[in-house]
Amino acid sequence: MTKRIIRLQRPGLTSLFVCVSLLSIADVCAADWRQFRGTSTNSVAVGEELPTELSRETIAWQIELPGRGLSGPIISDGRVVVTASSGYSDDRLHIISRNAVTGELHWERQFQATGRTGAHPKMCVATPTPATDGERIYAFYSSNDLICTDIEGNLQWYRGLGEEFPNASNSLGMSSSPIVIGTTVVVQVESDAEAFAMGLDAISGETKWKLDRRRKSNWSSPAVFTATGDCPALALLQSSVGLTAVDPDNGTELWTYDEGASTVPSATVSDGRIIVPSNGLTILQPSADGTSFEMIRNVKNARPSTPSPIVAGGIMFSVNGSGVLSAVSMETGKRLWQLRLHGRFSSTPVTSNGHLFCCSEKGMVSVVFPTEDEGKIVSQLDLAETILCSPAAANDALYIRSDGHLWKFAKQE
């Protein structure tokens, strides 16, 4: 089908867009949370002081949201952005921007889905988490509609990938979240009938590259390997085959780990190493120039379920299907301890100021203090609503989203 890009741009902003697009992911404000699992896609909130004693008194505000949404919130430049979907056919697409401090509404935009909107009852069309580069917002949906607005909500371009590639869908719904690396927006659209990964120009929406992928349904999201030394930034594409490192500028496949990987939880990066949900957890070390890799070790007794693994203080954490949190030494692969949490989990925890913040599917939020010897629950709060997406952290505040509400938690002055 012929590609169709709807693109709008306000006069006088071209030079600004070009300047901003040259910024790398390492240059962004540390207080932002710009995409799924944070700016660095590793669920680590660096330098934040989140409230560890959660209670009704630490709720700064609570906002009602339209329709449904499993997508996590993102935060940039004092704005918190979420997506939602509504309507009888779940085909009304919402992008909502609010003041991160007060919760006041900045703007809301609504669009009509162009692709398939059917999904499992546990999912909805607004399942992928949006992303931002600080100047533009990239909202992706299960219908494979990719919408770009500027930070004020003005439409810049619209790619109906569900219309361009109508076979790329599945009956459960799509959930892979986009990432932004430099001037490229990376998306994975992988199903049994058609599967591909694509890099789009962040400013124009034009296709920079497209890679055919194995035809198999995949709900994992790409991850970022941040440029360090001679190693360039890499887009990490995960599937049932394994993990492929791709040059985000041109789509060149630099190397592939081909021993299989999960199609739900996604890989994470810590201290220059990649932790892949593969046969438990597998640690990969890219070469100095990023063109090859070494497998460091495999830990079979730390298999995650839906939540992606995270790393803090040299410890790998994963949550299994029974709600058991496991802590494993990254250096030795030895299991340090296990802690049973309450219920089942789809949300990936966030780690900040030496604590883990974990949200169960039934809305129980647990704050865990981990050491090498044990994990201790120091605080719990039952929000009594279904929470399937991952929380966000920025500016010393924790943002949690359910289907119907968005909460901000912060220490009270």
Please state the domain extents for the chain.
5-410
- What is the CATH superfamily name and number for domain 5-410? YVTN repeat-like/Quinoprotein amine dehydrogenase (2.130.10.10)
* Cβ-Cβ contacts under 8 Å for 214 (sequence gap 6 or more): 190, 195, 239, 240, 241
pLDDT of residue 6: 58
pLDDT of residue 7: 54
pLDDT of residue 138: 98
Q: How far apart are the first and last CA of the chain?
A: 56
Residue 231, class by beta-carbon neighbours within 10 Å (0-12 exposed, 13-18 middle, 19+ buried)?
Answer: middle
What's the pLDDT tens digit per position in 182-226? 999 999 999 999 999 999 999 999 999 999 999 999 999 999 999
**Cα–Cα dist 378/341, whole Å:** 12
DSSP H or E run through 19 = helix 14-21
What percentage of the chain has pLDDT greater than the value 70? 92
pLDDT of residue 63: 97
Q: 205, 74, 209, 199: which is closest to 128 by C-alpha?
A: 74
**Cα–Cα dist 221/190, whole Å:** 10
Residues of the chain with pLDDT under 70: 1-30, 413
